Each structure stands twice: as structure tokens, then as C-alpha cells.
Chain A
Amino acid sequence: EAGVTQSPTHLIKTRGQQATLRCSPISGHTSVYWYQQALGLGLQFLLWYDEGEERNRGNFPPRFSGRQFPNYSSELNVNALELEDSALYLCASSLTQTGGTEAFFGQGTRLTVV
């Protein structure tokens, strides 16, 4: 069974440009989480989508946005890129159950802003 897949694996953009990152969850998973991890730092929560809706948002400016498609895949958009947006962007998926289940991560997209 395929795990969480993210594309592209690496992305180089110029300051001021826009970046689009994509995530395909594990089949059957309806929740998708996005995290930013700058070099040497912990995971910073960005966005949580479930059943096509944004459920929660971390402390990031509005130029970080995203969406979840009917097939539960997700897209993260970062507008007006800044140098400090350079980081590993991780996507994770999980089942939506009140019992609570673990999340599985993709290998990430490494974004470099120059």
C-alpha cells in the first residue's frame, strides 16, 4: 500500500514568487496536516484539513494557504515567498476517528527561497 506522497521533493524559488506543494494521503485517510520545519528546529503546525474543510490553522500569515480536494489530496500554497520560508514542508495523513489514530508522514518537500 502506498504511503503519503509529496511532490516535488525539492523546490527552488525566488523571493516574491509563489510555491505550490502537493500531498497525497494514504488511501482511506481523510485528514491531512501540513507542518513547516526550518533547519534545526521543531515542527511548526501550519494547517489541518479534514473531509475537505480547513479545521485548524497555525500561527502563520495569510500568504500560507491551502485546500483539500474531494479525493482528500491537498495543496499548500505559499505566496510572496520570503527567504525565511526556506524549510522542509511535511504533510501527514490520518484517519478521522474519535478514537484517535496516528499520523503518517510523507518525505517532505524541501523548499529553498533565494
Chain B
Amino acid sequence: RKEVEQDPGPFNVPEGATVAFNCTYSNSASQSFFWYRQDCRKEPKLLMSVYSSGNEDGRFTAQLNRASQYISLLIRDSKLSDSATYLCVVNRNNAGNMLTFGGGTRLMVKP
């Protein structure tokens, strides 16, 4: 089993739709969580950190469920520019500051 798992997609949604991605992690000692965005043939860039109480940044909402060991990302009112691959990242603090990336979920927003 992979340490961080994501549905690879692709998720094909129309503009304006709401879409949600989930990510599960296997190491219960994980303490920090992030969502990254990667555009085609570009480097990943930090989208947002994920806090225990959940957090929102504009159209994006991230949530963490420690009991079930999953993280979610909700995108409201999808834009064409949201088309990208979204990577879930987990920090294993019991192994220093080791960051582990999921395989990514591809989102395609259509007009």
C-alpha cells in the first residue's frame, strides 16, 4: 500500500461546478498536510496547507480527518484555469521532516 494515495482521475467537470478530491495516508504519526498544484510540464507549487480545524482560501477548502486518515480539497465554482494536477503531501514528523507526495489527481475543467 502506498503511503499517500489519491484517485488519479481525471475528473472532468464543467465550469462553475464544485469538485472534491480525497487523499488517504497510512502513517498515523503524520502531522503536517498540504495540497500542491502542478500544471503540465511545470514544477508543483504550494496551493494550501491543511489545518486540523479545516481552512478555506477563496474557492478552495481543505479539511483533515485524523481519525480516518484522509485529507480533502474542495474547489467551488471551478474555472478553466483550475485545470491541473493536485498533489496531496504529508509530512512524517517522526522521520525528521520527510515529505511524501501522493500520485496526484488530474482535474480538467471544460467550458
Contacts and interface: CB of A to CB of B under 8 A. Distances in A.
Interface in B70-103: 87, 89, 91, 93, 95-103
Contacts of A43: 44, 87, 101, 103-104
A105 B47 CA distance: 13
B87 A55 contact: no
A97 B45 contact: no
B35 to A, nearest CB: 10
A101 B96 contact: no
A96 interface: yes
A105 B96 CA distance: 19
Most buried by A among B93, B95, B101: B101
A100 B31 contact: yes
A90 B103 CA distance: 15
Given A102-B34, A102-B46, A102-B49, A42 B93 contact: no
Contact of B43 (A98, A100, A106): A106
A108 B41 CA distance: 10
A62 interface: no
Interface residues on A, range: 20 to 34
Interface residues of B, number: 25
Interface in A27-50: 31, 33, 35, 42-43, 45, 48, 50
Contacts of A42: 8, 87, 101-104
A56 interface: yes
A88 interface: yes
B43 A94 contact: no
A99 interface: yes
A103 interface: yes
A48 B32 contact: no
A97 B93 CA distance: 9
A31 B99 CA distance: 10
A94 B96 contact: no
A76 interface: no
Contact of A33 (B46, B99, B104): B99
Nearest to B33: A100
